Structures are given as C-alpha cells and as structure tokens.
Amino acid sequence: MSLPASRSQPNVLMIVSDQHRLDCVGASDDYPVATPHLDALAREGAWFSSAYTPIPLCTPARQALLTGVRAESTGGLWNYDLASRIPALDPGEYSWPRELQSAGYRSRYIGKWHVSPDHDPTRFGYDSWIPLEAYDAWREERHPGRPLPSDWFGELDVVPTADSRTHWMADRAAEFLAEAATADAPWHLRLDFLEPHLPCVPTEEFAARYPVDEIPRWRAFDDPLVGKPYIQRQQRVNWGVEDWTWEEWAPIVARYYAVITQLDDAVGRILAALDATGQASETLVVYTTDHGDLCGSHGMMDKHYVMYDDVVRVPLILRWPDRIPAETRSDAFTYNMLDLPPTIAQAIGVAAPPRAHGLPLFDASEAGLVPSAATAAREHVVSTYNGQQFGLFTQRMLRTRRWKYVWNPTDVDELYDLENDPDELVNIIGEPAAAEVLPELRTRLYHQLRRDDDSMVANDWMARQLLEGRKLNDHDIHIPAGSRG
C-alpha cells in the first residue's frame, strides 16, 4: 500500500481498552451490550470481525503493539508485576511512535502503560504521559475517602459519571485535541483505558441499564470441562467459583456490560471533541483491546490458561475519512497488535518494523484503502500463552476457519471442531476424527512458530511433539469425578 503523494500524513488517535470481548460490541450483533459510538465508528470505517490478539495477556500484548513483533521474540512472556519479573522491553527496540516523533508528530500517552516497570512511554517515542495514578490523585482531592472499589468481582462506583475514570480520561483527551488543533503539526494521541478489566465498577447511571435478570447466559457457561486440561478446573477453584450458578455470575456479567457501555460513552466524548476541533477528517482513529475476558464463560474468571475465542478474539476498528470507505468489512484473519504497527507506519510513510510479524491491513485502490490481499490469504492465526498467575503453563494455539488446535506441552492438547462446536465445549483430541487433521495442524503450528522466532520449538524434544506426534492424546484421565450442572 502506497498512498497518493497528494494525501497528507494523518493524525493518529489510538484507543486501547482492556479485556473487551468481540461479542460484547454492538457491531458484532451478538450479546446485548450497547456500544453506539463504537458501532458508528465501525459503520464509518473498517470493521475486522476476525481479529485476534497474538497473546491474551496485558504486558506482552502491549509490548507487541509497540514493536510489531511477538513478545516472545523480545523476551516478554508475562506481566512484570505478577510473580517473576521479566527483563523490561528495551527502549532500543523499534517502536512506531518513535518513528512518528522523528517525522515531526506531537504525541501524548494517557492511561494504562503496563509495558515496562523501568521505562515510561517517553522512552518509546511519546512526548508526554498522563498515568492512571494522576486520576487517583484527582479523585481523592475531589471525593476524599472514596477511592475506586477494588473487589475483583466488581461493584458500583459511587461518584457521578462525569468524575469516573473513563470520563476523566476522555476529558484529558479533549484537552490534548484542543491544544493540537492550534499547532501546525500532525499528532498522535494514545489512550489506554483500564476498562472493562475487572474489577468492573460502573457508575449507577450505566449499571441501571442492565437489570441482572435480563442478562443472557453465556452460550459456553455450562462447560463441564470434561477431557480438558486440569488447570482449567483448577482456575475455577483458585477463584472460588467452582460451584457458582448463573444466578451468582449474572451480576458480574451485568457490571461487565455496564462498564463497556460507560467506556463507549467516554469514546463518544472523545470523538465529539475531535469533531468540535475540526480534525476528524484528517485523523486515523483506531479502536482495539489487548484481549478478551471469560467473565463467567466456561465457568471461569478473567483469562489465563485458555485459548477460547472469549479471550483471543477481539474488536478492531479503523476509521480514516476519505481514505477508508465507510462500511468496509473484512472477515480476514488479522492480528490487532501485530498488524497495526506496519499499517500505521505505511499510512504515515515512516519506517516499518524491521522484523514485523504482522502485515499492513490495507491495499490502495481507486476507491481508497481496501482490506489487503495478504491478510485475506491467511489460512490461520496463532496465539500464545506462557502461564504465570497460578503457575507456569505454556500454550500455543492455531486456529483455522474450521479447527482450533491448542498445544499444551505439559498436559492434554485441545482440538475443537468450530463448524460443529463454535463454543468450544467438546475437546475431540482423542477421537478418531482428530487423527485426520492433527498432523497438518501441528505441522502448520511448528512452522509458524519457527518463522516467528518462538523458542518453544527450538529444541528437538518439543519439535517432536508437533512434527512426529509424540504427544499423549488420551484425555480419559482428565475426566473430573463430577460434571458441573
């Protein structure tokens, strides 16, 4: 994709949320979560309905978004603030914000960082940073003795919506947009919301929109986890939810819905400020998230130790008026964190990641930018996980249109026939049907991991699991004594 010379460099407004499931965006036409502003953004630009995170964990996903390469290749395996610390991402690594800065862009980062404990965003190309801690101080001054609730299962936020964290961030964004409108330079603004990451603490205004008795059951809620890795059942025990019914989960899911709608309202305020300052027509707007959330699906909390679409399939929206035609739709396999860096670099005309694991999302045409032929040609996506919070547990996932194969090197593997089991309830890894497809899926996964510098397949012992099928597939020993009703 090369843009016509007459087109100037766009401003870049990137909005990244935390743990937002694809099926909880109105544009997905799935669960009844109201996101009118994100829906409008999708109508006015490009909606990618098969976008996947390369790794469903905060720190390594955000590291990948800065560098354009999988976090394993730069040493990022885990969240640095849980259990073992990992080496901080080296500021010497490529980062596309630094390339924008070198091209004359003014920039600011607002919100959650979670990329490095030692280096803040200004070491990676941002001119300034407003951290979440600034909100905590502002809130204490405005509402003494009323910090944000911290119960992991969520509760109501007692402050007015205008004083909530989501809307405080929107106001800080609006201030930057007003300043940028008076400057003779392109700009890049990135907002990383903590929402809808647990604990979900919506204000009363938004919580009231989701009565608990109207929240539909997740389709995968009643998963007995039969024939699946032990650690999935242990995850329920770790959280103390192994015996929970839907009646206990529904209030938590209601708060998740509510805080997403509250986040959407904040996004609407940001987009309104962009319009009010007259900059919308020259701004590339991106919305995505680091990964999804179980939030009771499969009877589990949060993420960790699973590769279900609940946590790996994510929203991805790009709007660029007069460049990306409205109502652009793509079902091509995409990586939000890996494809965005080369896409933005190409749109701006700056250096792309030197060893990119992603591809630009668009090709140029007479009608404007259209979804790229290269991503349309992808036959699979790969996501990874390296354990941490409740013990180390490595996973590598390969998903095709029909099949999802999860390589669990230290436990039973998983294979789901998505055509007949879209909610990933039945692991058929030990069944005769698996024998017909496993060799191809394992070989594909091996070669993709090798191309992406993944050390998991750098030794012969691990390679033999994938290339020679030296992996036990008998999942009978994993059937629990009783199945949850």
For residue 120, give both structure tokens. Answer: 């803040």
Round to whole Å and give the CA distance between 338 and 129: 23
Instruction: Report the half-sphere exposure of 245 (CA within 13 A, side-chain side).
Output: 2
Round to whole Å and give the CA distance between 191 and 287: 10
Read off the pLDDT of residues 225-239 as tens digits, 9 standing for 90 and up.
999 999 999 999 999
- Please give the pLDDT value at position 6: 33
Round to whole Å and give the CA distance between 441 and 439: 6
C-alpha closest to that of 389 among 457, 263, 305: 305
Q: What is the DSSP letter of 149?
A: P
Q: What is the DSSP letter of 275?
A: H
Residue 482 CB coordination number (10 Å): 7
Counting as low any pLDDT under 70, the low residues of the chain are 1-7, 82-88, 474-485
Round to whole Å and give the CA distance between 11 and 187: 5
Determine phi and psi for 168, rounding to 5 degrees. Answer: -65, -45
- Partner residues linked to 316 by β-bridges: 288
Round to whole Å and give the CA distance between 343 and 372: 10
Per the CB < 8 A criterion, the answer to whether 308 and 294 are in contact is: yes
Cα dihedral value 376, 74, 450, 330, nearest 10: -10
For residue 390, give both structure tokens. Answer: 């409740």
Sheet containing 395-399: give its strands across: 381-385, 395-399, 403-407, 414-417
Per the CB < 8 A criterion, the answer to whether 48 and 324 are in contact is: no
The DSSP-derived string for 310-359 is: HHHEE-EEEE-TTTS-TTEEE-S-EEHHHHHHHHHHHHHT-PPPTT-SS-
C-alpha closest to that of 481 among 308, 298, 230: 230
The domain over range 381-478 is classified in CATH as 3.40.50.300: no
Q: Residues with Cβ < 8 Å from 86, sequence gap 6 or more? A: 75, 76, 77, 78, 80
- Please give the pLDDT value at position 474: 63
For residue 231, give both structure tokens. Answer: 């650690």
Q: Where are the domains of the chain?
A: 11-376, 381-478
**How do the residues of the chain divide into helix, strand and coil, expressed in percent and rounded to 5?**
35, 15, 45
Strand ranges (DSSP E) for 408-447? Answer: 414-417
Coil, strand or helix: which one is 218?
Answer: coil
Q: Residues with Cβ < 8 Å from 275, sequence gap 6 or more? A: none
**Cα–Cα distance list, 341 to 61, 68, 292, 325, 348 (Å):** 13, 5, 20, 21, 11
Coil, strand or helix: which one is 240?
Answer: coil
Per the CB < 8 A criterion, the answer to whether 465 and 441 are in contact is: no
Q: Which amino acid is at 413?
A: D
- Alpha-helical regions (H) of 152-282: 165-181, 204-207, 230-239, 246-276
Residue pointed to by tokens 């012992």? 461
Judged on CB neighbours under 10 Å (0-12, 13-18, 19+), 133 is: exposed
**Cα–Cα distance list, 5 to 2, 320, 340 (Å):** 9, 17, 22
How open is the CA angle 201-207-210, to the nearest 5 degrees?
A: 130
CATH class, domain 11-376, is alpha beta
Coil, strand or helix: which one is 225?
Answer: coil
Cis peptide leading into 199, omega within 30 of 0?
yes
- Please give the pLDDT value at position 89: 83
- Please give the pLDDT value at position 85: 61
Round to whole Å and give the CA distance between 132 and 398: 35
> Strand 403-407 vs strand 414-417: parallel, antiparallel, or unpaired?
antiparallel
